Amino acid sequence: MFDYHWIDGMDINGEAPVEEPARQYYFMKKCKQWAAGEERRLGRKLTLSMQTMGCQMNARDSEKLEAILSYIGYEAVDEPAADFVLYNTCTVRENANLKVYGRLGYMKNQKKKHPHMKIAMCGCMMQEPGVVEKIKKSYPHVDMIFGTHNVYKLAEILHTHLQSERMIIDVWQEAGGIVEDLPSKRKYFFKAGVNIMYGCNNFCSYCIVPYVRGRERSRRPEEILQEIRGLAADGVIEIMLLGQNVNSYGKTLEGNMSFAQLLREVEKIDGIKRIRFMTSHPKDLSGELIDAMAESSKICTHLHLPLQSGSTKILKDMNRKYTKEDYVSLVERIRERMPEISLTTDLIVGFPGETEEDFQETLDVVRRVRYDSVYSFIYSKRTGTPAAAMNNQVPEEVTGDRFQRLLHTIQEISKEITDGKVGQEADVLMEEINSHDSSLITGRLSSNVVVHCKAAPDCIGTICRVRLTESRGFYFMGEII
């Protein structure tokens, strides 16, 4: 889909161009020349180990990073150590950070054994000044550090490092313009994520994302639609539109295209059979979007609608801008138009000041809405966010106990929902060979629920009619009809 002749045709004898993306093409070609020399020196292909943490945004960035490295000459391997090791980090909760430091410690010895190894760190964690300071001090074996706003510059950063052989730190506090027309390497040939916007303006009081991903910026609709048409021409049948709050898509653009209007345009693209999107903030979910979903034959029957807490008081302290009643009545409106829709959500347990009564309000919404599945998180204090400064933090034992009770309720409901669907027929997009049992293919229903079927690998990438034969709580076993 991406035409690599653009890069191969660059003249790299003179100065680097100033404009993007030509500048990056220049550095990609320069690095490729260097890598070819390395390959001859080592007598083998160069290897790449890429570890991506966090959400779909990082997953999508990693596809762009991998394409750059793959053009340069690196081949991805499934091992922790390689000629190029890249960590694309997440910092939404504290435990993600601890894991990264653990891995960096391990890499210290690896690099002693293989001094030519390059170690690069990027992603949300690198946007925190304290983190970069710590890496500089305690992990000097890291070669490159960059952030979330300049992933497209990887080749230039590598080139600068090769010139100086020093640790290169290039983290921007603010986003520059959106750079289009760079290559990307998809994990699946039949489905793809497409960024429709970057950043977030909501500043939920617990959340670090607005600080590490910057202000909300929407991509122009023509660029998005052109990308999706290209993907469809390349055999992609499922598209996931990505943004921290897709419901406010278009607000930063001239022309005022809404998210619902964008969806209607995506719907028109031949070849695309399934459309998904993440994430919808309840405060911005419009009637127009409900109509677009209800009238569509391609938008999946699934909506991820993060609740975070069922207590109006906690929601106010979280700066979510809706009440428990607003949320429940929104769900009622959605279900009136789409009775079959599968709802999923995110919940935080133990936000500062959460009492047992507040927690009961969350359980109450969970019981009333009956989610197909729930991502529940224990509140994690993020330095710099308003909630971290609140002086009524909930003790760990209390949070742990609530978390267990919440899980129990969620599991019971999910099981009831899946049990009730056994025997039904449904369309399943067959996605990959099951990692535990290679005679099974794992796929997804339109509702996003997983189904495992006995099938041959050549069905991967197609939509098959399946009978759901058995419920296993969160997922199904099925038979191709």
Sites of contact with ligand SAH (CB under 6 A)? 92-93, 206-207, 209, 244-245, 279, 281, 306, 308, 346, 348, 377, 379-380, 382
The bridge status of strand 342-349 relative to strand 463-471 is: unpaired
Element spanning 479, H or E: strand 476-480
Torsion angle of the four alpha carbons 41, 42, 43, 44, in this order, in degrees rounded to the nearest 10: -130
What DSSP designation does 395 have?
Answer: P
| C-alpha–C-alpha distance, residues 73 and 75, integer Å | 7
Sign of CA dihedral 358, 363, 366, 372: positive
- The answer to whether residue 382 forms part of the interface with ligand SF4 (CB under 6 A) is no
How far from chain centre, in Å, is Cα 314? 26
- Applying CB under 6 A, among 31, 65, 72, 124 the residue interacting with ligand F3S is 124
In the complex, the smallest distance separating the C-beta of residue 306 from ligand SF4, rounded to whole angstroms, is: 7
- Applying CB under 6 A, among 173, 203, 407, 408 the residue interacting with ligand SF4 is 203
Q: What is the CA radius of gyration of the chain?
A: 23
* CA nearest neighbour of 89 among 72, 111, 65: 65
Q: Which is nearer to ligand F3S, 89 or 442 (CB)?
A: 89
- Applying CB under 6 A, among 54, 193, 243, 350 the residue interacting with ligand F3S is 54
- Applying CB under 6 A, among 7, 10, 48, 57 the residue interacting with ligand F3S is 57
- The answer to whether residue 210 forms part of the interface with ligand SF4 (CB under 6 A) is yes
- The answer to whether residue 253 forms part of the interface with ligand F3S (CB under 6 A) is no
- Applying CB under 6 A, among 24, 49, 62, 91 the residue interacting with ligand F3S is 91
- The answer to whether residue 135 forms part of the interface with ligand SF4 (CB under 6 A) is no
- The answer to whether residue 375 forms part of the interface with ligand SF4 (CB under 6 A) is no
In the complex, the smallest distance separating the C-beta of residue 376 from ligand SF4, rounded to whole angstroms, is: 14
Sign of CA dihedral 245, 178, 180, 255: positive
- Specify the 3-state DSSP secondary structure of 458: helix
| C-alpha–C-alpha distance, residues 148 and 161, integer Å | 19
- Applying CB under 6 A, among 52, 62, 88, 202 the residue interacting with ligand SF4 is 202
Is the separation of the CB atoms in 90 and 96 below 8 Å? yes
What DSSP designation does 247 have?
Answer: G
Which of ligand F3S, ligand SF4, ligand SAH, none lies near 93, with the C-beta cut-off 5 to 8 A by kind? Answer: ligand SAH
Candidate ranges 138-146, 196-204, 232-240, 352-360; the one touching ligand SF4 (CB under 6 A): 196-204
> How many chain residues touch ligand F3S (CB under 6 A)?
11
* CA nearest neighbour of 474 among 396, 398, 407, 404: 407
Interface residue list for ligand F3S (CB under 6 A): 54-55, 57-58, 90-92, 124, 209, 212-213
Interface residue list for ligand SF4 (CB under 6 A): 200, 202-204, 207, 209-210, 244-245, 281
